[in-house]
Structure 1
């Protein structure tokens, strides 16, 4: 396997220049979630001739490199975000969409890996998953899984990598265990009685009820969750009324619940409803709570994480300290079905914040992400050899 690693690394480094150019083209022509057909065609056009390609999940595709039998899958994401880019580079997008989460980097790195594996051959076939709709619901990962395509390809393990400005350039985190939180969204609606703002005694005030709920919700993590387990309750949207002298008949808040632990996830769901009902009743209002369940927590297989870390070091990258965050990724659905590994590839603080109009990973991020994916692929070949 060491000899294969050296051969694959050499072939991969030969692909870096082309991968950087492909990345710039993808970056300049982003597609929003559910409309990624052009991006998918671009990636397939960069694949070696004669590979098996099949459509999946509407606007996605699966590309197989190698023969039949058990394989290792590498997930890359196709979609961009509805953000107007402000990076001012010559290859900036100009259509109101933007690869502000690094999917252009992931795609070009995946292309480089597929081409390198095709050149050197491999003991285990590689399946490149071009997944749509990572950024929106319904999840593209769920549709890929529901298609049963990965079972037909006999996937033994799933590998992914995501750029991360919290790490320095050249650092990669291959962290065992839970690395991302589950992510659920909630809507809380407080119902009162509309009327003139000068006569607050004539009806219950839903704005007051909602204000009390927003404050009380912040205590859920502080007092209901084990302090040794990460969890987050954040409210990002509040809507109420349209005039300063009119008491509205309802007020609405929307937010997110995130947790590393399934039991605490369910506890937060129950306590959110209890708190909403309690504060509403305390001021004479009624409450309605709606929960939209999102991605589960993302769990990295320890065997893959350990083996990939050793490969990363062999490739000249720095293994960072363990990195975990309350961010979420629908890669977690794959991890529920197969042994999986999501690595985080450093881009440094100078690249900007993910999901911002100024985010721009460097060319080196393409190289480092390709090497990380190769490290994960080789780790899976070792940890889960074909039977």
Structure 2
């Protein structure tokens, strides 16, 4: 037997013990999911959610370290190298439309991205690791501000706590309604794009709409800028590469008969390669300014750099796939998207694995929808995926 085969066999033995312990925790985890879903906290104000989770981990977590303002790292197990497993604390500013008895009791707030499922699954895994002898320490990363800037994952990645806890690798799992239930994507390499925001202002000279020749109309200029920007990806980016430049908001003026002094737009930039990212940033500014100048206006662009590309560690993804199969889950086709997750900051700092777990999200299911509601069985599936990733990381570490 090769060393690798022996390692996998040992991991499979540990997997079986942990799975038994995990199954015992799932009923309580479902109840926790309901409580989390009913009381969502927005990004930057997740303190109550964090405190609820730490209460659930009382007697399980040995040390708890605050991080990122409203986040925490909770260590399960003794000293030595550990595996980090991430769970996101924040909800979205979305009005819930599910009608379940445990729907959000906070108007305009909802766990519409599955973070309640992820957190409940993470607590179940922590309790299973605590109850199982011979396990590698696990550090539960209760991460704030996944949905907004500044990134909570970036705070953790830049913290000395990763070194202090001797974290060797980091695992995450996210519900994904585009995959069938029972399928999990553990794709090696690039899985999510870098994501940036831009804010564009076109400034002209306002005046009475009846005298356009006495104005420099920023609304007309911005309209041409928006159209011209659609050609940046199709004509400036190598067609064998990938990028997205999307204008999502437009605003100008306050009266029908007044040409305003300025018009504004904002949008998103997505890319899979650093060189393409920089190229699109540059061309966005050039095109906006040159087109605006052609209309006797000026344009300025401010770009907020967001998450980097998310790359899964090849060895970790491959080993996790073996354990997912052993747990009765199906490893899906490779899954990549122009979605973004700030888990990418953690995966830049250490070997990382983000898995996508297939769920039935309800009628018209889509992430960030007021109707998105994975069934309670998703807690089990996400917990099993986290378990496979944890054992793979412990095995390789």
| TM norm structure 2 | 0.95
| 1:66 and 1:122 in contact (8 A); partners too | no
Q: Look up the match of 1:359.
A: 372
Q: Is 2:269 the partner of 1:262?
A: no
Q: Which moved more, 1:192-201 or 1:69-78?
A: 192-201
Which residue of 157, 174, 181 corresponds with 1:169? 181
Q: Is 2:87 the partner of 1:76?
A: yes
What does residue range 1-387 of structure 1 map to in structure 2 within 5 Å? 1-49=11-59, 51-96=62-107, 97-348=109-360, 350=362, 352-383=365-396, 385=397
Offset of 1:61 from its aligned partner?
A: 1.1
Q: Which runs of no fewer than 5 residues in structure 2 stay unpaired?
A: 1-10
Q: Which runs of no fewer than 5 residues in structure 1 stay unpaired?
A: none
| 1:168 and 1:349 in contact (8 A); partners too | no
| 1:170 and 1:317 in contact (8 A); partners too | yes
Distance in structure 1 (CA, Å) of the matches to 2:323 and 2:58: 26
Q: Please give the per-residue CA displacement for 1:220-270, whole angstroms capped at 9, x wherever unaligned.
A: 111122223221111111001111211111100001101010000000000
Offset of 1:123 from its aligned partner?
A: 3.8
Offset of 1:166 from its aligned partner?
A: 0.8
Q: Please give the per-residue CA displacement for 1:330-359, whole angstroms capped at 9, x wherever unaligned.
A: 100001110000000111363611111111
**Secondary structure of 1:316's match?**
coil
Distance in structure 2 (CA, Å) of the matches to 1:123 and 1:359: 35
**Secondary structure of 2:362's match?**
helix
| 2:316 and 2:392 in contact (8 A); partners too | yes
Q: Which moved more, 1:130-139 or 1:49-58?
A: 49-58
Offset of 1:314 from its aligned partner?
A: 0.6
| TM norm structure 1 | 0.97
Q: Which runs of 4+ in 1 moved over 2 A?
A: 226-230, 348-351
| 1:230 and 1:326 in contact (8 A); partners too | no
**Secondary structure of 1:31's match?**
coil
Distance in structure 2 (CA, Å) of the matches to 1:2 and 1:345: 21
**Secondary structure of 1:218's match?**
helix
Distance in structure 2 (CA, Å) of the matches to 1:66 and 1:343: 24
